[in-house]
Every structure is written in structure tokens, then in C-alpha cells.
Amino acid sequence: MTDAPYSEGTWKGRPNYRCARCPFDSLDQLRIDAHVEEHRTADLVLERRALLRAPAEPPPDALAAQGRRLRQRAGLPEAVTPPEGAAVADAGASASDPAAPHDKEPA
Ligand SMILES: [Zn+2]
């Protein structure tokens, strides 16, 4: 173990345990163990909070901006609504074609 959570010294001939991360020290190894465990718990809580605060996906504004950039790159207009009348004119042309039946008439 290179990264010990506490160091061991002596105090009046007795072993004294000093926290590596703060000024806390104790003559009782159980107490220093409990103390370093508190540091670990605090670390986990901070880590969890940082993860919760981090946005999982970009906000809607960013997505809309990205969509606009992609459309501009593809040469598409800002809005993707089809021009009015285009669909109607297309349907009318294919539904009633008066020229078709005349092909079968005997000459
Ligand atoms: Zn400490």
C-alpha cells in the first residue's frame, strides 16, 4: 500500500494514528479507521452528486441548433414544410390521365 489513508506515529510511547487528509489523529486504531471511512463515504457522495449534476444529453436548444446546422450543410431550407400545392398538383396528374384510354382505340 503506497497510498495509506493514515500514518502511524507515536505519542508518549503509544501508537498514534494521523489522518493523511486532515489534522485528525487518534490513539485508537478503530477510531482512525472509522474516520478514514467517513472520508471515503464523503468522496462517494460528492462523486454521485457530480454525476447527477452532469447533463445526460444536450438541452433542446442545442439539438435545434444542431438540426439547423445539418440542414444548412445539406443545402436544405430552414423549415422542412413542403411547398403548398405541390402534393395536390402531383395527385391530380396521376389520377386522371385522359390520354391513356385513347391508345387502345383501333386506327
Ligand atoms: Zn481526516
Q: In the predicted model, what is the mean pLDDT of the chain?
A: 82
- Distance, in Å, from the CA atom of 57 to the CA atom of 59, rounded to the nearest integer, reads 6
Predicted pLDDT at 94: 52
For 58-93, the pLDDT digits (tens) are: 778 888 888 889 988 988 877 656 666 665 555 555
Distance 10 CA to ligand 1 centre (A): 18
**Cβ-based burial of 32 (10 A; exposed 0-12, middle 13-18, buried ≥19):** buried
- Let me know: does 26 contact 35? Beta carbons within 8 Å: yes
Instruction: Please name the residue that has the C-alpha cell 387502345.
Output: 104
Distance 32 CA to ligand 1 centre (A): 8
**Is the per-residue pLDDT at 26 higher than 70?**
yes
Number of neighbouring beta carbons within 10 Å of residue 35: 19
What are the residue ranges spanned by the domains of the chain?
1-73
Nine cell digits for residue 43: 468522496
Predicted pLDDT at 1: 47
**Is the per-residue pLDDT at 20 higher than 50?**
yes
Distance 100 CA to ligand 1 centre (A): 92
Q: Are strands 25-26 and 6-11 parallel, antiparallel or unpaired?
A: unpaired
Mean pLDDT of 49-64: 82
Distance 52 CA to ligand 1 centre (A): 26
Distance 2 CA to ligand 1 centre (A): 17
